[in-house]
Each structure stands twice: as structure tokens, then as C-alpha cells.
């Protein structure tokens, strides 16, 4: 049985927990969208300047069937457009379509350049491999944002507590 003091502490903790959870539900999607947008914009913007993007050599060696001097600026535009769409929240369906069309290409080095991404297959990753695998988080974030394009929201409390 809980003491009176324990019940008071538990009630205060619950009140604080609810406030924090409500704040997260209210602002989490915006922070996720803008943060993801900054990542895409930043990575894309670096590609406009030869030698500035750490991914440039990986892209050049992966997309060997296209002229990289043409492809990399197109990729830079593509990624900065995704970033701007996410940051502004405008044209989200088109922005997320561009994001999901771009993601398979980011995984190509896993197959085309295994020596650049694996130190020991299938779990030892180089820094380039880690750079690619982190895209799973970007995909997950895109899926969460995509689930809200029709006006969906995150709720801090379940609508129906009876599952």
C-alpha cells in the first residue's frame, strides 16, 4: 500500500509526464519535419560544390553509368528541394514522393561497392556504410510524416483506452 506522500509524488509525476507528453505530441511532427528538412537541404547543398560533400566520391563511384558531373548537380537540386519542402511544410505529398524515390539510390553502394561499405559482411560497416544505413531512420521519419498528410496528428492519450 502506498503512503500519502508516495501518492502525492506519483500524482505530481503523472501531471508533469502528461504535460511533457502533450508538448511532444503538439510539436514532435514539426520538429521531425524541419529537422529532416535541414538534413536533406544541408547534404544536398554541399553537393553543389565539388569536393565539399563527403558523399561525393561514393556517388561518383556508384552512379558510374551516368556522367557524375551532370548527375551530382541534379542530385543536389533534388535533395535541396526535398529539404525546402520539408522545412516549409509545402507540397508535402510531392516532397515525400521525391524523398522515397531518392532513397533506393542511396542504398546502391551496399550492392555495387561492398568494399566501400563493409569491413566485415554483414555487420561491420565503414563510415560510408554507416552513412547509408542511417537512411533507415530518414525513411522511418518520412513514413511518419506521410501518415499525416491527410491531417493526421499524434495524440498524447489514446482515443479509446480499451484495446
Task: Give percent of the chain with pLDDT exceeding 70.
Answer: 98
CA neighbor of 32 nearest in space, from 106, 97, 104, 96: 96
**How do residues 59-102 score in pLDDT, each as one tens digit?**
999 998 999 999 999 999 999 999 999 999 999 999 999 999 99
**Paired residues of 58 in beta bridges:** none
- pLDDT at position 122 is 87
Q: Using CA atoms, how far apart are residues 30 and 86, in angstroms rounded to an integer?
A: 9
Chain centroid to CA 76: how far?
Answer: 17
Are 55 and 43 contacting, i.e. CB atoms less than 8 angstroms apart? Answer: yes
The pTM for the full model equals 0.89
% of the chain beyond a pLDDT of 90:
87
Contact 82, 102 (CB under 8 A): yes
| pLDDT exceeds cutoff 80 at 163 | no
Amino acid at each position: 500500500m502506498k503512503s500519502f506522500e508516495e501518492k502525492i509524488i506519483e500524482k505530481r509525476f503523472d501531471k508533469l509526464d502528461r504535460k511533457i507528453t502533450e508538448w511532444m505530441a503538439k510539436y514532435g511532427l514539426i520538429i521531425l519535419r524541419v529537422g529532416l528538412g535541414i538534413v536533406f537541404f544541408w547534404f544536398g547543398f554541399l553537393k553543389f560544390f565539388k569536393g565539399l560533400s563527403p558523399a561525393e566520391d561514393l556517388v561518383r563511384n556508384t552512379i558510374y553509368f551516368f556522367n557524375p558531373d551532370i548527375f551530382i548537380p541534379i542530385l543536389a537540386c533534388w535533395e535541396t528541394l526535398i529539404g525546402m519542402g520539408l522545412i516549409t511544410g509545402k507540397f508535402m505529398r510531392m516532397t515525400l514522393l521525391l524523398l522515397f524515390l531518392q532513397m533506393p539510390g542511396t542504398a546502391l553502394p551496399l550492392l555495387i561497392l561492398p568494399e566501400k561499405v563493409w569491413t566485415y559482411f554483414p555487420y561491420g560497416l565503414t563510415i560510408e556504410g554507416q552513412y547509408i544505413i542511417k537512411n533507415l531512420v530518414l525513411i522511418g521519419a518520412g513514413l511518419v510524416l506521410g501518415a499525416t498528410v491527410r491531417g493526421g496528428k499524434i495524440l498524447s492519450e489514446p482515443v479509446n483506452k480499451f484495446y
